[in-house]
Chains A and B, each alone.
Chain A
Amino acid sequence: MGATIAEKILARAAGRDRVRAGEEIKARPDFVIAYDFPGYTDVIFRQMKEDFGIDKVVDPSRFALFIDHMVPAVTPQEEELHQVTRDWGAAQGVPVYERKGIGHQVAAELGYATPGAFVVHFDGHISQLGTYGALAIGVRRHLLEAFVKERIQIKVPKTTRIDLTGRLRPGVMARDVFHHIVRVIGPSACRFQVLEIGGNALEHISLEGRQTITCLAMFTGAITAIINPDRTSLDYALPRARIALDPVSSDPDADYAAVHRIDLSGLQPVVVIPPSPANTHDLSDFVGTEVQVGYLGSCASGRVEDLRIAAEILRGRQVKPGFQLHVVPTSQEIMRQAAEEGIITDLIASGAFVTSSSCDYCFGRMGVMSAGQRAVSTGTLNVRGRMGSPDSEIFIVNAAAVAAAAIEGKIADPRPYL
Chain B
Amino acid sequence: MPLKNLRGRAAFVFDEIDFDVDQIVGVKNIKIKDTDELAKVAMQGYDPDFATRVKPGDLLIGNENFGYGHPHYPPMIAMRRLGISGVVAESFSPGYWRGEIAMGFPQIACPGVLGLVSRWDELEVDWKDSQVINRTTGTALPFEPLSDGDRMMLEHGGLIGYLHARDEEETE
Contacts and interface: CB of A to CB of B under 8 A. Distances in A.
Nearest to B23: A384
A276 B20 contact: yes
A5 to B, nearest CB: 19
B27 A385 contact: yes
Given A51-B160, A138-B95, A381 B18 contact: no
A193 B149 CA distance: 17
A253 B118 CA distance: 45
Given A148-B163, A149-B166, A154-B149, A142 B69 contact: no
A234 interface: no
Contact of B27 (A52, A140, A191, A383): A383
Interface in B130-172: 147-149, 159-160, 163-164, 166-167
Given A142-B102, A276-B69, A188 B163 contact: no
Chain B interface bracket (under 10, 10 to 19, 20 to 34, 35 or more) = 20 to 34
Contacts of B166: 149, 153
Contacts of A278: 18, 68
B64 interface: yes
Contacts of B102: 140-142
A385 B28 contact: yes
A222 B94 CA distance: 8
Contacts of A276: 18, 20, 68-69
Interface string B69-98: 110000000000000000000011111011
A192 interface: yes
Contacts of A218: 94-95
Most buried by B among A188, A222, A276: A188
Nearest to B153: A142
Most buried by A among B26, B92, B97, B149: B149
Contacts of B23: 384
B99 A141 contact: yes
Given A139-B98, A149-B163, A383-B22, A277 B69 contact: yes
B65 A155 contact: no
Interface string B22-57: 110011101000000000000000000000000000
B93 A52 contact: no
A24 B94 CA distance: 16
A144 interface: yes
A145 B163 contact: yes
A223 B94 contact: yes
A374 to B, nearest CB: 16
Q: DSSP majority for the A interface?
A: loop
A145 B20 contact: no
B94 A155 contact: no
B27 A124 contact: no
A140 B98 contact: yes
Contact of A24 (B103, B148, B163, B164): B148
B69 A383 contact: yes
B47 to A, nearest CB: 19
B73 to A, nearest CB: 8
Contacts of B149: 24, 153-155
Interface string A151-162: 001110000000
Contacts of A154: 149
Given A140-B102, A142-B102, A153-B149, A187 B26 contact: no
B159 A142 contact: yes
A221 B65 contact: yes
Interface in A94-139: 124, 138-139
A284 to B, nearest CB: 24
A191 B159 contact: no
Given A138-B95, A142-B102, A223-B94, A385 B18 contact: no
A383 B159 contact: no
B159 A145 contact: yes
A140 B95 contact: yes
A47 interface: yes
A223 B166 CA distance: 24
Contacts of A380: 70
A389 B147 CA distance: 39
A124 B98 CA distance: 11
24 contacts: A47-B160, A51-B164, A52-B164, A124-B95, A138-B95, A140-B98, A140-B99, A141-B99, A144-B159, A145-B159, A145-B163, A149-B163, A188-B64, A191-B92, A218-B94, A221-B93, A221-B94, A223-B94, A276-B69, A277-B68, A278-B68, A381-B69, A386-B70, A390-B28
List 6 tightest A-B contacts by C-beta distance, closest first.
A385-B27, A188-B65, A141-B102, A390-B27, A153-B149, A140-B98
Interface of B: 18, 20, 22-23, 26-28, 30, 64-65, 68-70, 91-95, 97-99, 102-103, 147-149, 159-160, 163-164, 166-167
Given A24-B148, A275-B20, 18 more contacts: A124-B95, A139-B98, A140-B99, A142-B98, A142-B102, A145-B163, A153-B148, A153-B166, A188-B64, A188-B68, A191-B65, A219-B68, A221-B65, A276-B20, A383-B27, A384-B20, A386-B27, A386-B70
